[in-house]
């Protein structure tokens, strides 16, 4: 199946941070992203979350990811945030509760084809007893 999605990523860069480290945090999750450095912020655009999906599988957090995606879905858009420091290490850690003092990496995924539910199943398939099904 062909997936058509537009992924926008934004991460603040604080005065105490090195911009390249924030870029690394983003590209560790979405290596094919087109990066733009702006004052106080890193922005990225991508059209695939394949590496991100692999990390979810490897970390065995598909159910958690599905819950975050469901909570952040409005219409054809999925929004969620990740912690920067774990992302720098190539680890997915969803930002829940109060924002991190350094700011979180915000994702906005606009799904054009197929449906949001099908795309979520593609990135983080449902599981049974902890094992992906489908």
Q: Tell me if residue 50 falls in helix, strand or coil.
A: helix
pTM exceeds 0.95: no
Report the alpha-carbon distance of residue 110 to residue 122 in Å, rounded. Answer: 15
Q: Residue 133: CA atoms inside 13 Å, Cβ hemisphere, count?
A: 6
Decide: residue 129, CB within 10 A, 0-12 exposed, 13-18 middle, 19+ buried. Answer: exposed
In this prediction, residue 134 has a pLDDT band, given cuts at 50, 70 and 90, of low
Question: Domains in the chain, please, with CATH?
Answer: 4-132 (3.30.1440.10)
Q: What is the pLDDT of residues 93-113, one digit of tens each?
A: 999 877 667 789 999 999 999
Beta-carbon count within 10 A of 18 CB: 9
């Amino acid at each position: 199946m062909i997936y058509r999605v537009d992924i926008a990523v934004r991460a603040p860069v604080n005065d105490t941070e090195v911009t390249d480290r924030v870029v690394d945090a983003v590209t560790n999750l979405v290596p094919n992203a087109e990066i733009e450095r702006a004052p106080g912020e890193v922005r990225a655009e991508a059209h695939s979350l394949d590496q991100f999906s692999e990390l979810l599988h490897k970390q065995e957090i598909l159910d958690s990811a599905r819950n975050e995606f469901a909570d952040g879905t409005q219409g054809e858009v999925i929004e969620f945030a990740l912690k920067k420091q774990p992302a720098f290490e190539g680890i997915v850690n969803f930002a829940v509760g109060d924002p991190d003092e350094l700011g979180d990496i915000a994702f906005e995924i606009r799904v054009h084809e197929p449906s949001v539910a099908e795309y979520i199943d593609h990135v983080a398939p449902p599981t049974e007893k902890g094992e992906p099904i489908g």
